[in-house]
């Protein structure tokens, strides 16, 4: 709908609110044809009319300034409506108007204000601005998509021209509360805009790719040491197996929900593709928290969890081939309990769950793989900049497996890691960690104690309660804790202290706003789906090792890991160059493009899957 559709019916004033203290002509602008406070609809189109002074909400002008900027009046189904000029949505009547006026126009403005704060509007605005910056139109391709806002046709579908925005809009309508999943898809869609413009049929593939193939949700009842019954929720999302069997970890953490598991499974699908392994993507877990639980309580929970999960996984399960592994909260202890129950229920031994003990199935270097791989990836980035890790000051978040093994490898390369963190705060040692200090940190975390204990042995170090390490001066930052740990303010802090490279060790640890700060500041940003692919790489090698009944040495595994991380970096750079994307954005967009193209080609060749 455009301005050309504005009605020519009897004049109808748009009655907007005005705070006390404004006179009728103070803000009058005869050239502001879209200033809604001055709009009237009549036979001669839009014309300014005097403002009405009302005793209503203060600061209305500040609150609604952006809404006025992107709005216009038009006719919808015989009634005048206020529309968003970016994505053509209009305000609908609300039961209650938060701005105090009962007029229907203000109710529409209230609804439009909510719309303008929505992800859909912000994405439309971003695409519009991007198209102006790059001198290219917004990508639009014909696509069949189920439209829930219209009447169904005989076939149940409507064909209309849509862009990548329409895929996001469909997800927003279908799963409006799955914020982590929406964020993950948004990042990928942004990167794929030049791909979709060049190869239109990939729009159809992307629409199918963002919908998981199977989602399993189940209850997990268990009994604690006092004999009291508890219940948690279990998940397994089998996202895509176009490239091979589902592969992805299990996470036990209180924050686990369907949105988190879906985003992890989507990221895992692309990560597995980028690693060149013939593996699909999946993820699972539970909102169970192993911290503070006894060994017997954890064992009973794992047994109960597996009693349902085993029906949906396994190397010989028909029709599902799914081999999970560990993640946050699921280490060797939990894997051992899960595998023991799986073996008892199925009488199957090989090919299921990793990492297990070295004596019964895993590779050497499996625990270290993700953390080491993050540093190997950073090493490749620096090599292109003709630099090395030696003497570079590094800030690391987290104190789990990925973070501590990343610190270990940074020490090996002569870097100076100065921080680690936990849920209570962060630890800063200005002199940098060495192997002895790292050993102490590991001992502290093994006993589930606070990193504050470190200061007792090294009093020159400092522990900061309820703070994050992103304001510490550094050359490289490694967010290795959890999703969305680094926000807009943290990103600004990193830029202000001179950080030049950010390498994600966790899955999506940076918010979309933080990534935008890095982009505008021209710093190098390595996405998690590329940088932390070392873990799944080793799992693929482990499956090959188990099939051949051999045990590779740690040196052999480490050499293969370095080769894979170098290959991932080079593929990302090449994919970005193929679509005209330069540094430093090449790392993010190139990883998304390279991983998508491999999955998309497999899906095209397999038909409508």
- Among all residues, which ones are annotated catalytic? 283
**End-to-end CA gap in the chain:** 35
Residues 159 and 203: their CA atoms lie apart, in Å, by 14
With contact defined as beta carbons under 8 Å apart, do 498 and 504 qualify?
no
Residues 509 and 87: their CA atoms lie apart, in Å, by 30
Q: Mapping DSSP to helix (H, G, I), strand (E, B) and coil, where does residue 251 land? A: strand
Residues 487 and 406: their CA atoms lie apart, in Å, by 22
Per-residue CA distances from 589 to 56, 200, 410 (Å): 47, 18, 26
Residue 469, token pair as written in the block? 């390490």
Q: How long, in residues, is the chain? A: 609
CA atoms within 13 A on the CB side of 590: 25
Residues forming beta bridges with residue 252, ordered by sequence position: 286
Q: Mapping DSSP to helix (H, G, I), strand (E, B) and coil, where does residue 294 land? A: coil
Residue 405, token pair as written in the block? 């093994």
Residues 509 and 529: their CA atoms lie apart, in Å, by 11
Residue 32, token pair as written in the block? 């502001």
Residues 233 and 290: their CA atoms lie apart, in Å, by 14
Q: At what angle do helices 179-198 and 512-520 cross, to 10 degrees?
A: 50
Residues 351 and 152: their CA atoms lie apart, in Å, by 47
Residues 453 and 368: their CA atoms lie apart, in Å, by 24
Q: What is the DSSP letter of 471?
A: G
Burial 385-402 (b: 16+ CB within 10 A, else e): eeeebeebbbbbbbbbbb
- The residue among 322, 325, 246 whose CA lies nearest residue 281 is 246
Residue 329, token pair as written in the block? 């909260």
Q: Mapping DSSP to helix (H, G, I), strand (E, B) and coil, where does residue 64 land? A: helix
Q: Mapping DSSP to helix (H, G, I), strand (E, B) and coil, where does residue 65 land? A: helix
Residues 561 and 365: their CA atoms lie apart, in Å, by 10
Residue 478, token pair as written in the block? 């490694």
Strand order in the sheet with 12-13: 12-13, 40-42, 45-46
With contact defined as beta carbons under 8 Å apart, do 285 and 256 qualify?
yes
Q: Which is it for strands 79-84 and 141-145: parallel, antiparallel or unpaired?
A: unpaired
Handedness of CA 563, 566, 571, 572 (dihedral sign): positive
State residue 199 phi and psi, 5-degree precision: -125, 90
């Amino acid at each position: 709908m455009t301005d050309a559709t504005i009605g020519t019916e009897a004049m109808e004033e748009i009655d907007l609110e005005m705070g006390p203290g404004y006179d009728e002509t103070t803000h009058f602008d005869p050239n502001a044809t879209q200033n809604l406070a001055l709009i009237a609809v009549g036979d001669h189109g839009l014309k300014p009319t005097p403002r009405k002074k009302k005793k209503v909400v203060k600061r209305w002008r500040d609150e609604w300034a952006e809404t006025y900027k992107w709005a216009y009046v038009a006719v919808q189904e015989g009634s005048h409506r206020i529309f968003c000029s970016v994505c053509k949505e209009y305000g609908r009547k609300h039961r209650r108007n938060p701005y105090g006026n009962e007029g229907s126009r203000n109710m529409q403005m209230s609804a439009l204000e909510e719309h303008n704060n929505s992800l859909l509007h912000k994405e439309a605005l971003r695409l519009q601005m991007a198209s102006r910056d790059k001198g290219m139109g917004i990508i639009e391709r014909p696509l069949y998509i189920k439209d829930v806002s219209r009447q169904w046709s005989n076939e149940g579908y409507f064909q209309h021209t849509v862009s990548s925005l329409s895929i996001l809009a469909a997800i927003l309508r279908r799963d409006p509360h799955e914020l982590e999943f929406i964020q993950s898809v948004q990042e990928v869609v942004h990167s794929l805009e030049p791909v979709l413009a060049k190869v239109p049929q990939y729009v159809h593939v992307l629409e199918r790719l963002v919908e998981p193939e199977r989602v399993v949700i189940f209850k997990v009842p268990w009994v604690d040491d006092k004999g009291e019954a508890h219940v948690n929720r279990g998940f397994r999302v089998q996202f895509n197996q176009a490239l091979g069997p589902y592969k992805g970890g299990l996470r036990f953490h209180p924050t686990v929900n369907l949105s988190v598991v879906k985003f992890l499974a989507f990221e895992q699908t692309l990560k597995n593709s980028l690693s060149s392994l013939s593996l699909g993507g999946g993820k699972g877990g539970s909102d169970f928290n192993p911290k503070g639980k006894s060994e017997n309580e954890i064992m009973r929970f794992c047994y109960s969890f597996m009693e349902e999960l085993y029906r949906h996984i396994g190397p010989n399960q028909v029709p599902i081939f799914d081999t999970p592994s560990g993640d946050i909260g699921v280490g060797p202890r939990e894997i051992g309990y899960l595998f023991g129950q799986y073996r008892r229920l199925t009488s199957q031994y090989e090919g299921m769950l990793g990492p297990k003990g070295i004596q019964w199935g895993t590779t050497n270097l499996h625990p270290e793989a993700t953390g080491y791989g993050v540093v190997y990836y950073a090493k490749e980035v620096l090599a292109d900049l003709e630099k090395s890790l030696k003497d570079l000051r590094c800030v690391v978040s987290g104190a789990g497996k990925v973070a501590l093994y990343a610190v270990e490898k940074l020490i090996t390369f002569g870097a100076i890691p100065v921080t680690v963190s936990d849920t209570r705060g962060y630890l800063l040692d200005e002199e940098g960690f060495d192997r002895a200090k790292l050993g102490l940190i590991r001992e502290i975390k093994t006993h589930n104690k606070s990193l504050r204990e470190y200061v007792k042995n090294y009093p020159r170090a400092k522990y900061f309660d309820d703070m994050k390490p992103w304001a510490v001066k550094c050359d490289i930052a490694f967010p290795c804790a959890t999703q969305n740990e680094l926000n807009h303010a943290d990103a600004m802090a990193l830029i202000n202290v001179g950080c030049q490279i950010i390498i994600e060790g966790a899955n999506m640890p940076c918010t979309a706003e933080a990534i935008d700060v890095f982009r505008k500041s021209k710093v190098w940003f390595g996405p998690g789906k590329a940088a932390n692919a070392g873990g799944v790489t080793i799992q693929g090698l482990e499956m090959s090792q188990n099939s051949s009944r051999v045990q590779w040495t740690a040196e052999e595994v480490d050499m293969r890991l370095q080769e894979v991380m170098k290959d991932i970096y080079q593929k990302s750079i090449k994919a970005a160059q193929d679509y005209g994307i330069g540094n430093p954005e090449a790392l993010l967009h190139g990883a998304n493009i390279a991983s998508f193209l491999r999955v998309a080609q497999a899906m095209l060749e397999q038909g409508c899957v």
